[in-house]
A and B are shown apart, each in its own frame.
Chain A
Amino acid sequence: KAGVTQTPRYLIKTRGQQVTLSCSPISGHRSVSWYQQTPGQGLQFLFEYFSETQRNKGNFPGRFSGRQFSNSRSEMNVSTLELGDSALYLCASSLSRTPDTQYFGPGTRLTVL
């Protein structure tokens, strides 16, 4: 069974631009969560989508948004990029919304110059 895939793997943007990251969950998994990982703050929860609806949200500004499609694939968007948005963005999928295991993708490394 294929794992969680994320595209692109690396991305370089400049301040003020916007970016869209993509995540394809494990086949059959309906819940997709997004996390930001930085050396200073560690791994922080961004949001979770299930059945195309955002079900939970972390403490991030409105510049961070996401969506989920009917095939469970998800995208996250960051508008008006800031230097502090440089991070590894991780997507995790799980079969259902029970307090279950989440399987992480390899991440997208975003660098903002």
Chain B
Amino acid sequence: QKEVEQDPGPLSVPEGAIVSLNCTYSNSAFQYFMWYRQYSRKGPELLMYTYSSGNKEDGRFTAQVDKSSKYISLFIRDSQPSDSATYLCAINQGAQKLVFGQGTRLTINP
């Protein structure tokens, strides 16, 4: 079993839709959760960073961690074509080692 599981998609939605991206993880000891966005031919860019459980909001983006079910989510409201990218969840396994999900390729259609 992979430490972090993420549906690779692809996911295609119309502009303005609410997007829900999800990951599950196996080790309940994980405490630090990140979402990265990666455009084609670019390195990943940090979007959201959450410690432990709960929600964190930043503009149109909301990150949610449910430690009881080992489930992390990223919600994008009022999605824009510029949000089209691959979204990667990541967990800090300690000492700077990030474990990534496979990444979900998202397309927002105008």
Contact = CB atoms under 8 A, between A and B. Distances in A.
List the 10 shortest-distance A-B pairs measured between CB atoms, nearest first: A104-B43, A43-B100, A99-B32, A99-B92, A48-B96, A42-B102, A56-B95, A104-B44, A106-B43, A45-B97
B10 interface: no
A22 interface: no
Given A45-B99, A99-B32, 12 more contacts: A31-B96, A42-B100, A42-B102, A48-B95, A48-B96, A55-B95, A56-B96, A92-B43, A97-B96, A99-B96, A102-B96, A107-B42
A37 to B, nearest CB: 9
B45 interface: yes
A4 interface: yes
Interface string B32-52: 101010000111111001010
Interface residues of B, number: 25
A56 B97 CA distance: 7
A58 B46 contact: no
Nearest to A106: B43
B63 interface: no
20 contacts: A33-B96, A33-B98, A35-B98, A42-B88, A42-B102, A43-B90, A44-B100, A50-B96, A55-B95, A92-B43, A92-B98, A97-B96, A99-B92, A102-B96, A103-B46, A104-B36, A104-B43, A106-B42, A106-B43, A107-B42
A32 to B, nearest CB: 9
Interface residues of A, number: 25
Contact of B46 (A97, A102, A106): A102
Given A42-B102, A43-B88, A99-B31, A58 B43 contact: no
Interface in B61-110: 88, 90, 92, 94-103
Contact of B98 (A50, A102, A106, A107): A102
Contact of A101 (B43, B46, B99, B102): B46
B54 to A, nearest CB: 16
A45 B43 CA distance: 14
